[in-house]
Structure 1
Amino acid sequence: MTADLDLPVGTPGHAPVVVELPGVPGLGGTYARGLATGGRLAVARRTGSAPTALADVRYVARGVRADADHLTAYQHLLGESGSDALPAGFVHVLAFPVATALMARADFPLPMLGLVHLANRVEQHRPLGLDDTFDVHAHAEGLRPHRSGTQVDLVTEAHVDGTLAWRGVSTYLAKGLRLAEDDGAAADEPPRAAFEPPVPTGQWRLDGDTGQRYAAVSGDVNPIHTSTLGAKALGFPRRIAHGMYTAARALADVGAARGDAFAWTVTFDKPVLLPGAVAVRVAREGDGFAYAGWHPRSGKPHLRGTVTPRP
């Protein structure tokens, strides 16, 4: 169901504006709105009237339920086992359009199109299944300087009968954009550890249409993943794989050993150009698993992360 959004204006420092959506927004329409609001934001920035803070707005979509055919298509594409349990990456697919709609708002201070996906963290407290009906809550937080621009966290949650079952935090970067009050100093960010390619446990070979196939199951039709012209317009030589496709594929490689409750993290380095190959290592580390993907010839990292089972 596609929601037509009537966008109230939230005011920083006041009680949150809670917007009850009539359904989960379609990402195609959301990208169109994001393109329009991004243009207006660019004009406002030149006149000094652009927003520089996050409005305290919360979106809620109630009564969300997975479709069996949709789940099966996702499982086949990502290599997840066939069952009625919803993989954590599939819950992200169902929930994240609600958060994406926040980025298309007129009062969102960063342009939605062109944001760089830096990292994700998911906490799954209990598995969701085909029989579950849940509510999706979403908000933005943590607008802060980054050494390359400005970053923000988009938070989505899935609640069953009022109890938190799943929580995801997606961190995005507006490259080269400094907010008015930003003096150019980056927030305290720990430097990323140097990457030395480990012994691989496998290799992914990604076809040129991987972006279109993931877009078909995720709804994420961002042209950098589905169109060569769109990718070139944003500075890439050809289409790139969705970050969440690669992260979710690594999660699928961990398999059932992750358990019913776990923390799943990923940081993204270099994008994966399509078609292309990714050398991969997924192995036990401490109480859980660590994974990494890198270019098999250059050794440059594409992504790295962990999956840690919870009691």
Structure 2
Amino acid sequence: MVQSYALLVVGFVLLVFGGDYLIKGGSRLSALLGVSPLLIGLGIAAFGTSAPEAAVSIKAAISGHSAVSIGNILGSNIANIGLAIGLALLVFGIKETHRQIWKESVFGLLATLLLLTLSVAAFSRYGDYGLNTVGGFILLFFFAGYLYYLFRMSVSDKKKSRDEEQEVIENRPLEYVKSSAMTIGGIAGVIFGGSFVVDNAVAIAQSWGVSETLISVTIVALGTSLPEIVVSVMAVRKNHWDMALGNILGSNLFNILFVLGTTATIKPMEFSAFHSMVLPDLLIALGITLLLFFIVIQKKRSGSALWKSRMQGLVLLLTYAAYMVFAIIRK
């Protein structure tokens, strides 16, 4: 048991230092590539920190546990917004956001609606709620469209930052290596750190006699979201709000479009407890994404005072707390 406590500490250390290196490396890469920190958050950081969700969900679905797979994705997406963004808003506040960030929040809404539509369409055609191979390919098709959008965004950003790009061109080869190493090392740190924290927190909780139900809806549910939470809070602490929001929204899109799309094409997913388990989580994920959309739109139009921003963070946190209570009661 002493080993579990030691590894738990190691996990938190890896999370903190990994998040710090990821933000430093990502911000330097954005300057070198001539793109905004938002794009780094939407792409590299989001896809990298979503690795735990991808591994857990694909493994669960292939093993015949589709409910675990979809539950992990939706629970993670809810935690990403309610806990990560809510905590960052409450502690640090935000006055304004990147001009493009509202589009990503719209994409998040559309992706969740698409998942709901495909699940219901499968029932109307085959008599079972779920995601079949066709549904998986549809999700992957939209993911390809999202990648194309990121590519177009990067081209646009480069055109706008040619002057700044010239300032670092002399050190570019070495800077590319250093920044890429920091970014990749940071991603590895938050992934392994999150794994250490979850595994050993579960072992410690079990030794205290905590029920498996409570563990599953708290520690395990939060575990796969730890990388996104840590990276987002660290980004905000360094005043990189665009990277934090990009990381969360990009991660949520990656979870639905790529992870579930890939999973369904490998093995069709049947949601056996759709009305009692999947549908409520889908609606909550849709609602909390809509709430974030309104927050982003408000800041895009007029900005807001820090106290108002912190109140919005509190609302997101309370929404997530209510979801956790609901999940425990439902279990």
Task: Specify the TM-score bucket, using the shorter chain as the normaliser.
Answer: under 0.3
Instruction: Give the number of the structure with larger relative contact order, counting CA–CA contacts within 8 Å between residues 6 or more apart.
Output: 2
Higher share in helix: 2
Could you tell me the TM-score, scaled by structure 1's length? 0.26
**Higher normalized strand content (fraction of residues):** 1
Give the TM-score normalised by the residue count of structure 2: 0.24
